[in-house]
Amino acid sequence: MGELEDAVMTRVWKWNRPVTVREVLEDLQQERSIAYTTVMTVLDNLHQKGWVRREEEGRAYRYEAVSTRAAYAAALMNDAWAQSDNPAAALVAFFGMMSDEQRRALRDAIRIVQGPETGGAEDEKPQSGNRSGNTRNPESDGENAQSDGNPGSAPERAGR
């Protein structure tokens, strides 16, 4: 996902409502010179990738984000990691770039994914059918991502 796609998605999240190509264009033009057709193509690409949904309104479309900024960031990180020929080395390099605050957030995220600790010796044994010992419910992950409290959450988007 490129820089322009990121910039367009930021605008879609910013309004937290369905937006037109024209609205995104006018906002982007405050920072750079860009053509209407370029923004239209980027939004169409994002629609084809499943990042935005669109509804026809007259002769135009209104676009709306399908997921949170956190889910989008996670997909970007996953794509980058998947392209590495040495995923372990890529992770070590990535973790080495992190600030102390980011490392704390990473530790918190690992605790959430792993689930609550019981404090017993059984913690080291994988649970049946799940080698990682992960007890979370994958079907609830989408709901959890919606209330992630990150800087891209609804209150901040609405305030921009």
In this prediction, residues 4-13 reach a mean pLDDT of 93
Model pTM score: 0.57
Predicted pLDDT of residue 118: 54
**Any residues with CB less than 8 A from the CB of 43 and at least 6 apart, and which?**
8, 21, 24, 52, 54, 61, 63
Burial label, 53 (beta-carbon count in 10 A; 0-12, 13-18, 19+): middle
Three-state secondary-structure class, residue 83: coil
Residue 2 is encoded by which pair of tokens?
């490129």
Predicted pLDDT of residue 1: 63
At 141, the pLDDT band (50, 70, 90 cuts) reads very low
Predicted pLDDT of residue 80: 87
Percent of the chain with pLDDT over 70: 72
Predicted pLDDT of residue 138: 37
22-74 per-position pLDDT tens digit: 999 999 999 999 999 999 999 999 999 999 999 999 999 999 999 899 998 88
Distance (Å, rounded) from C-alpha 40 to C-alpha 37?
5
In this prediction, residues 11-25 reach a mean pLDDT of 94
Whole-number average pLDDT of the chain: 78
Q: What angle do CA 8, 12, 18 make, to 5 degrees?
A: 135
